[in-house]
């Protein structure tokens, strides 16, 4: 059920994490200060038992009453200093980590809004969401805890090994040598873990997609009673994720196991060799004890390397997933030196326009296959054609929801790709057949394209779209309509979407079958009102019905991706058989049927 | 105000009782989730204890090696103790490692099993909840519950249990050892526990509120994200990117602040506990030192208690982290348990009436319907449709046509009266029976990601490829499907990106055709079709509807023509009811509509 466009290639941990640098750089001093505090803290933690021992063995044993208070105060001071270091580490590191997370999240969102519709067609929204929420959360935690601990524990480890070598080069060397298999284990771990980790992240994204679809498609699932079916699908996906997570835990566990066994076996060998060295007078008992006292301190840093390593791989994968989206080339971008149209008149020209999806097979004809069409300023053009002839695709081109793959679309003689998207979409407004409403007030939804507009514009638009029903809603035009306007009927949603396009007062209005869900009466009223608007506005209207065609000055007939014929409704009826087939045959069928009634 | 279910979910000003109620609810859910795994949890914890024990043996063996094995060699040339110590060490190392492997995998199994059952339960429950719920509770919130809230619970399950068990055991053992060794020092520890408990209580109260805030703000952020991505075309067409950036940025910032607040109070709590530990160690050294000098305490004992006290406070960091995770997960469980507490307003009957093969007789008996927000949509509807009849519903928007259809499909239950199928109240039918008998096709033809074939097969999950193709052929969808890159195996992708809305409607017709119900409801199901497609569909309908009951809502009167009977509705009442020809002849409302439509065709 899932489609994942990007093939995950094996990421390298350091380069993947290094790509986060631009976000981290501003906070680098604080992060370093955090590492510093953490280092001091762990040194204190190491020192406190030694100091305790020294105090008890020294002044207190000698019965020096005056030494008791200073000793206690010294212990207190060290302990409080440790607490302070922990406080400082958190203080230095945690706030920056939340800032990094937030700014990455904002950038990802902004990038997603910029990326073309074709990108969103390809990518499932659950995958996008899991990147924006889970992955970035993971990165924040790595930054706040993982990276600092990693640095601190690594340094502790290096220092500790140095001390071991200092106590006894022979034993220390032996310990290092015996611990070398860890490198092999770690290497093998990385090979397999990064794949499972990535798979878990991807599967979590797919699961989010399924959840989203199950809610968005709830009416269909309910209508067919397919809740159980959907649950089965979800269950199998969730159990896949579960298996992946358990596989991940196995990898983790086996790394930890080796990280326990290898050093401990090394200690055992060191114990044997150490004792032997003492017997042959190569080592003193004191040195042997000191060696092991230090070795015990290293247990935790070694153990922690296991989960920190896994943590780092997770974070590297999260970074890769983030960059997969952010690095996607925006194929519909603003030109470097944008043209501008000072006084838009609304002349819309399609010149040999072609469009095909990038991944369409080579032998398939272009969806829009060389369409030529001119809309004069103020003209209303109906676009008629059978299902799949490319009408909707053609309407998406003027506002650059998709870019042509051949030919060009001109607005007042300027190629639409030479305008900024902001300007272009101010001139061209659209109403889609499946009316998308946002969970905002009716007012905000209608004035989406002209946020600053006053009530006059709003009322006018609502009047034209015959959407006066909004005044009967609980809070009138301030009513927050449900997400996707779910609590409104299809016809109501369509009228609000139409009102929105009208309110934008564009030079060119593109309407994709905007009246399909309206009843005949309402449709007639909307049409009457629309006529005034259309008198001054260039409009391209996808029409399935003769009644909608009536709105138009001329009709363009689309057939297999081309403009087959252009003329008035009656001209086309008279001369074009395909047009009659598309538009009027029903009428005839109707007549025949009525004879039978 | 109530906090039952999801109501009051966004509030942050719960009273004490409300807060308690919610917390209890969340704790109940946690217990329910954990209960099936009690045995596994028990033996996993046992492994943790043994493994910790094996880890502790290490230093003792080293001590043995130096204190006993070394003299044995020096004095008697006896190498056996050293061999013994070395082998024991190796064995304990391997045992500790293997045990660690086993309990890590085992606790991952537990945590994944809990997550799996919670996910499934939540999914199942949201599917069961009525449309009324879904119309108010945005999809983004359900997604937030399923993703980021579950993530919090996962964090708790993953990170903590081992640490908690180890920590508590360690503290308990050390504590007991201290009391045995030196009761006075033990008393100091006991006294130190008082401020520790107070500090913990403070953290609990504060963090409960703050963690709730993180859940609410993260859900608000997710809702906005999902809505933008779902409506990306409109976002682009109306240039709301910048405004969205601001608005989303605000929500990201709210979430960040909420997160930061939680982290900050933990940043006070954790060092606070450590400082308490430091203070009590200092007190033990002070009291012990004085007693050593007075000669009432051995130096060795003082050293031991001081080191023990230090050890006593070491695992407390881990325990604090666990507690932090617990607080976070509780907040998430509070929200999830709220959703689970919601009851479907259209519940399944406990003892359903069996309906083997439905005939399709429909009765609306004195049905009144009003939305919870008030206002009768259907004041009193009495309608009887014999099996096999095709009925068209006509009337302006808001006349109650869709409501009637939704009552029949049992998306809602009537406020008064009953809707019956073959004489059985719909409320007494099992969901399976009802859905097999009654299918509704709406204007909104949603496609799920997957192939075209899978989407059609939604009408009948066990359908063969031949049946799927036959259904597509019957509604005239076969030609365009065959023309798709991979035919029936083409992925329709997100929201049917590649399929036009007319084509989507054809596919949803094919779905209905495949489902083969006794009662078919078509709510504006042909609105997006072009005329040739609509004609095909109508021809298909002629055969499709021949032996079943059908309710057709259509603005296009062309569809109405195939009906046996037309109901004209206005303000929730049926004002005309007869065969179409008879109505046209009678010259009422329908005749007017019909004339208007005739004119619109030219």
Average pLDDT in the A352-380 region? 87
Does residue B11 register a pLDDT over 90? no
- pLDDT value at position B495? 42
Average pLDDT in the B373-402 region? 84
Indicate whether B480 belongs to any domain. Answer: yes
- pLDDT value at position B374? 63
Cα A206 to chain centroid distance, Å, stands at 13
Per-window interface: A 519-548 vs B, CB < 8 A: 519-524, 544-547
Does residue A597 register a pLDDT over 50? no
Do B333 and B286 share a structural domain? yes
The token duo for B195 is 């401020």
- pLDDT value at position B518? 92
Task: State the CB neighbour count (10 A cutoff) for residue A364.
Answer: 12
Write out pLDDT tens, residues B503-523.
888 888 899 889 889 999 988
Do B372 and B336 share a structural domain? no
* CA separation for the pair A135, A314 (Å, rounded): 9
CB contact under 8 A, B245 and A113: yes
**β A380-385/B416-421 pair status:** unpaired
Do B202 and B105 share a structural domain? yes
Q: From A254, which residue of chain B is nearest by alpha-carbon distance?
A: B101
Q: What is the CATH number of the domain that holds B574?
A: 3.40.50.300
Of B311, B341, B371, the residue that ends a domain is: B341
Q: Is A189 on the interface with B (CB under 8 A)?
A: no
Task: State the average pLDDT for chain B.
Answer: 86
Which range is least confidently modeled, A374-383, A430-439, B42-51, B269-278? Answer: A430-439
Indicate whether B140 belongs to any domain. Answer: yes
- pLDDT value at position A26? 94
- Under the banding of pLDDT at 50, 70 and 90, the label for residue B248 is very high
More reliable by pLDDT, B64 or B198:
B198
- Under the banding of pLDDT at 50, 70 and 90, the label for residue B219 is very high
CB contact under 8 A, A208 and B503: no
Do B377 and B420 share a structural domain? yes
Write out pLDDT tens, residues B494-505.
444 467 777 888
Does residue A29 register a pLDDT over 70? yes
Write out pLDDT tens, residues B576-599.
898 888 888 888 888 888 887 777
The beta-carbon neighbor of B449 closest among A3, A73, A76 is: A3
Share of chain A above pLDDT 90, in %: 44
Do B535 and B472 share a structural domain? yes
Q: What angle do CA A227, A230, A233 make, to 5 degrees?
A: 150
Do B414 and B332 share a structural domain? no
3-state percent helix, strand, coil for chain A, nearest multiple of 5: 65, 10, 25
CB contact under 8 A, B108 and A261: no
* Chain B residue numbers touching A220 (CB-CB < 8 A): 442, 444-446, 458, 508, 511
Which range is least confidently modeled, A477-481, A482-486, A592-596? Answer: A592-596
- Best B77, B130, B214, B285 residue to mutate vs chain A (most A CBs within 10 Å): B285
DSSP structure class, residue A144? I
Task: State the average pLDDT for chain A.
Answer: 86
- Under the banding of pLDDT at 50, 70 and 90, the label for residue B38 is very high
Min Cα distance B162 → chain A (Å) is 13
Range of the domain at B189: 16-341
Do B49 and B175 share a structural domain? yes
- pLDDT value at position B150? 93
Do B378 and B503 share a structural domain? yes
Indicate whether B185 belongs to any domain. Answer: yes
- pLDDT value at position A584? 66
Do B377 and B309 share a structural domain? no
The token duo for B70 is 């070394």
Q: What is the DSSP string of B94-151?
A: HHHHHHHHHHHHHHHHHHHHHHHHHHHHHHHHHHHS-HHHHHHS-HHHHHHIIIIIHH
Indicate whether B524 belongs to any domain. Answer: yes
- pLDDT value at position B57? 76
A523-539 residues labelled b (16+ CB within 10 A) or e (exposed):
bbebbebbeebbeebbb
- pLDDT value at position A319? 95
Write out pLDDT tens, residues A543-563.
887 778 888 999 999 998 899
Q: What is the CATH number of the domain that holds B236?
A: 1.20.1560.10
**β B390-394/B565-570 pair status:** parallel
State ipTM: 0.89
User: What are residue A516's phi and psi, to 5 degrees?
Assistant: -60, -30
Average pLDDT in the A469-483 region? 82
- Under the banding of pLDDT at 50, 70 and 90, the label for residue B373 is low
Per-window interface: A 443-482 vs B, CB < 8 A: 448-449, 451, 469, 474, 482
Average pLDDT in the A99-123 region? 93
Indicate whether B348 belongs to any domain. Answer: no
A90-111 residues labelled b (16+ CB within 10 A) or e (exposed):
bbbbbbbbbbbbbbbbbbbbbb
Write out pLDDT tens, residues B404-427.
998 999 988 999 999 999 999 999
Q: Is A220 on the interface with B (CB under 8 A)?
A: yes
Indicate whether B1 belongs to any domain. Answer: no
- pLDDT value at position A402? 92
- pLDDT value at position B601? 62
Do B241 and B289 share a structural domain? yes
Indicate whether B354 belongs to any domain. Answer: no
Indicate whether B581 belongs to any domain. Answer: yes
- pLDDT value at position A11? 61
Tell me which residue of A512, A499, A503, A507 sits closest to A558, measured CA to CA.
A512
The beta-carbon neighbor of B449 closest among A52, A209, A597 is: A209
Do B221 and B107 share a structural domain? yes
Which range is least confidently modeled, A529-538, B89-98, B255-264, B530-539? Answer: B530-539
In order of start, what are the domains of chain A with their CATH numbers? 20-97 (no CATH), 115-148+162-329 (1.20.1560.10), 348-596 (3.40.50.300)
CB pairs under 8 A between A and B: 535
- pLDDT value at position A372? 94
Min Cα distance A16 → chain B (Å) is 24
More reliable by pLDDT, A412 or B175:
A412
Does residue A93 register a pLDDT over 70? yes
- Under the banding of pLDDT at 50, 70 and 90, the label for residue B531 is confident
Average pLDDT in the A271-290 region? 87
Do B287 and B155 share a structural domain? yes
Per-window interface: A 274-303 vs B, CB < 8 A: 275-276, 278-279, 285, 288-289, 292, 296
3-state percent helix, strand, coil for chain B, nearest multiple of 5: 70, 10, 20
- pLDDT value at position A354? 94
CB contact under 8 A, B231 and A269: no
Q: Is A352 in contact with A372 (CB distance < 8 Å)?
A: yes
Of B285, B309, B341, the residue that ends a domain is: B341
Number of domains comprising chain B: 2
- pLDDT value at position A592? 47
CB contact under 8 A, B93 and A221: no
- Best A202, A268, A466 residue to mutate vs chain B (most B CBs within 10 Å): A268
Share of chain A above pLDDT 70, in %: 94
CB contact under 8 A, A235 and B120: yes
3-state secondary structure at position B403 = helix
- Under the banding of pLDDT at 50, 70 and 90, the label for residue A7 is very low
Average pLDDT in the A409-418 region? 94
- pLDDT value at position B600? 66
Q: From B88, which residue of chain A is nearest by alpha-carbon distance?
A: A268
Q: Packing angle between helix B16-34 and helix B316-341, nearest 10 degrees?
A: 100
Write out pLDDT tens, residues B434-492.
988 999 888 777 888 888 999 899 888 889 999 999 999 988 889 888 877 788 888 88
């Amino acid at each position: 059920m899932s489609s994942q466009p990007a093939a995950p290639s094996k990421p390298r941990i350091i380069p993947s994490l290094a790509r986060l640098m631009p976000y981290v750089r501003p906070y680098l001093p604080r992060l370093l200060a955090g590492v510093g505090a953490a280092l001091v803290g762990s040194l204190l933690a190491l020192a406190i038992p030694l100091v305790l021992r020294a105090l008890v063995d020294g002044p207190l044993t000698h019965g020096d009453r005056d030494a008791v208070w200073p000793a206690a105060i010294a212990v207190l001071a060290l302990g409080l200093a440790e607490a302070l270091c922990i406080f400082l580490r958190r203080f230095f590191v945690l706030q920056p980590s939340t800032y990094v997370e937030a700014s990455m999240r904002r950038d990802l969102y902004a990038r997603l809004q910029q990326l073309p519709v074709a990108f969103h067609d390809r990518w499932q929204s659950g995958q996008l969401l899991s990147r924006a929420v889970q992955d970035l959360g993971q990165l924040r935690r790595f930054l706040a805890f993982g990276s600092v601990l990693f640095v601190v524990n690594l340094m502790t480890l290096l220092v500790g090994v140095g001390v071991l070598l200092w106590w006894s080069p022979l034993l220390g060397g032996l310990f290092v040598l015996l611990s070398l298999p860890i490198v092999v284990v770690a290497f093998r771990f990385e090979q397999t873990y990064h794949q499972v980790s990535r798979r878990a992240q991807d599967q979590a994204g797919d699961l989010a997609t399924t959840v989203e679809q199950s809610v968005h498609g709830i009416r269909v699932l309910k209508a067919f009673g397919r809740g159980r079916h959907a649950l089965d699908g979800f269950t199998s996906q969730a159990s896949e994720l579960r298996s992946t997570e358990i596989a991940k835990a196995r990898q983790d566990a086996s790394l930890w196991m080796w990280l326990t066994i290898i050093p401990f076996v090394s200690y055992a060998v060191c114990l044997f060799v150490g004792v032997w060295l003492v017997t042959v007078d190569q080592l003193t008992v004191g040195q042997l004890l000191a060696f092991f006292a230090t070795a015990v301190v290293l247990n935790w840093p070694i153990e922690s390397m296991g989960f920190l390593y896994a943590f780092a791989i997770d974070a590297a994968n999260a970074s890769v997933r983030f960059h997969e989206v952010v690095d996607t080339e925006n194929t519909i971008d603003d030109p470097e030196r944008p043209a501008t149209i000072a006084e838009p008149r609304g002349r819309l020209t399609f010149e040999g326009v072609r469009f095909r999806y990038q991944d369409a097979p080579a032998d398939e004809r272009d969806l829009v296959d060389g369409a030529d069409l001119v809309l004069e300023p103020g003209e209303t053009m109906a676009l008629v054609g059978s299902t799949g002839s490319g009408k909707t695709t053609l309407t998406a081109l003027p506002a650059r929801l998709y870019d042509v793959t051949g030919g060009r679309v001109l607005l007042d003689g300027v190629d639409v790709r030479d305008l900024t998207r902001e300007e272009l979409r101010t001139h061209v407004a659209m109403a889609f057949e499946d009316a998308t409403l946002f969970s905002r007030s009716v007012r905000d939804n209608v004035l989406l394209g002209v946020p600053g507009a006053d009530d006059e514009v709003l009322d006018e638009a609502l009047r034209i779209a015959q959407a006066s029903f909004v005044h009967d809603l609980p809070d009138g035009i301030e009513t927050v309509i449900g997400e996707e306007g779910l609590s409104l009927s299809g016809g109501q949603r369509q009228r609000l979407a139409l009102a929105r396009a009208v309110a934008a007062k564009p030079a060119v209005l593109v309407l994709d079958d905007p009246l399909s869900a309206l009843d005949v009466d309402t449709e007639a009223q909307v049409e009457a009102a629309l006529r005034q608007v259309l008198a001054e506005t260039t409009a391209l209207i996808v029409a399935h019905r003769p009644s909608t065609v009536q709105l138009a000055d001329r009709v363009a007939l689309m057939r297999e991706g081309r403009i087959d014929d252009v003329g008035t409704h009656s001209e086309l009826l008279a001369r074009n058989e395909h047009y009659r087939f598309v538009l009027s045959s029903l009428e005839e069928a109707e007549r025949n049927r009525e004879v039978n009634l | 105000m109530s906090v039952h279910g999801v109501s009051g979910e966004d509030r942050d000003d719960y009273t004490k009782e409300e807060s308690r109620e919610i917390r209890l609810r969340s704790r109940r859910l946690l217990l329910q989730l954990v209960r099936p795994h009690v045995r596994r949890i028990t033996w996993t914890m046992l492994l943790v204890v043994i493994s910790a024990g094996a880890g502790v043996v290490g230093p003792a063996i080293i001590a043995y090696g130096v204190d006993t094995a070394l003299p044995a060699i020096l004095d008697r040339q006896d190498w056996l103790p050293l061999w013994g110590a070395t082998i024991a060490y190796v064995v304990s190392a391997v045992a500790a490692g293997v045990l660690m492997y086993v309990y890590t995998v085992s606790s991952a199994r537990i945590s994944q099993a809990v997550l799996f059952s919670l996910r499934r339960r939540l999914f199942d429950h949201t599917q069961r909840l009525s449309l009324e719920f879904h119309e108010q509770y945005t999809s983004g919130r359900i997604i937030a519950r399923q993703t980021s809230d579950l993530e919090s619970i996962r964090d708790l399950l993953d990170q903590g249990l081992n640490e908690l068990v180890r920590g508590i055991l360690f503290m308990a053992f050390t504590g007991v050892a201290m009391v045995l060794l030196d009761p006075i020092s033990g008393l100091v520890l006991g006294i130190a526990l008082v401020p520790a408990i107070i500090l913990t209580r403070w953290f609990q109260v504060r963090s409960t509120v703050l963690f709730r805030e993180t859940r609410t703000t993260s859900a608000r952020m997710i809702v906005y994200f999902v809505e933008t991505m779902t409506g990306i075309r409109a976002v682009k067409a109306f240039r709301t990117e910048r405004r969205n950036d601001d608005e989303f940025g605000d929500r990201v910032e709210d979430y960040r602040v909420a997160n930061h607040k939680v982290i900050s109070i933990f940043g006070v709590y954790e060092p606070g506990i450590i400082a308490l530990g430091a203070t009590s160690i200092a007190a033990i050294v002070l009291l012990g030192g004085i007693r050593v000098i007075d000669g009432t305490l051995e130096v060795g004992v003082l050293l031991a208690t001081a080191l023990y006290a230090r050890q006593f406070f070491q695992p407390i960091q881990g325990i604090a982290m666990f507690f932090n995770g617990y607080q976070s997960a509780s907040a998430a469980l509070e929200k999830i348990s709220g959703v689970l507490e919601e009851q479907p307003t259209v519940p399944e009957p406990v003892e359903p009436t069996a309906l083997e093969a439905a005939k399709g007789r429909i009765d609306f008996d004195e049905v009144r319907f009003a939305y919870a927000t008030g206002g009768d949509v259907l004041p009193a509807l009495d309608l009887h449709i014999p099996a096999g009849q095709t009925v068209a519903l006509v009337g302006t928007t808001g006349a109650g046509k869709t409501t009637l259809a939704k009552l029949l499909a049992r998306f809602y239950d009537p406020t008064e009266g009953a809707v019956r199928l073959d004489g059985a109240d719909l409320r007494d039918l099992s969901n399976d029976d009802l859905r097999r008998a009654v299918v509704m096709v709406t204007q909104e033809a949603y496609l799920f990601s997957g192939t075209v074939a899978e989407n059609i097969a939604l009408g009948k999950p066990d359908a063969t490829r031949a049946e799927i193709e036959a259904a597509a052929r019957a509604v005239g969808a076969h030609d365009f499907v065959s023309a798709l890159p991979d035919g029936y195996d083409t992925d329709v992708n997100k929201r049917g990106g590649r399929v036009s809305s007319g084509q989507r409607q054809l596919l949803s017709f094919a779905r209905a055709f495949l489902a083969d119900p006794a009662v078919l409801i078509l709510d504006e199901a042909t609105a997006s079709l072009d005329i040739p497609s609509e004609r095909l569909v109508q021809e298909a309908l002629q055969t499709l509807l021949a032996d079943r009951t059908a309710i057709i809502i259509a603005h296009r009167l062309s569809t109405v023509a195939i009906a046996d009977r037309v109901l004209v509705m206005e303000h929730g009442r049926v004002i005309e009811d007869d065969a179409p020809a008879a109505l046209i002849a009678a010259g009422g409302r329908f005749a007017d509509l019909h004339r208007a439509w005739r004119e619109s065709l030219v």
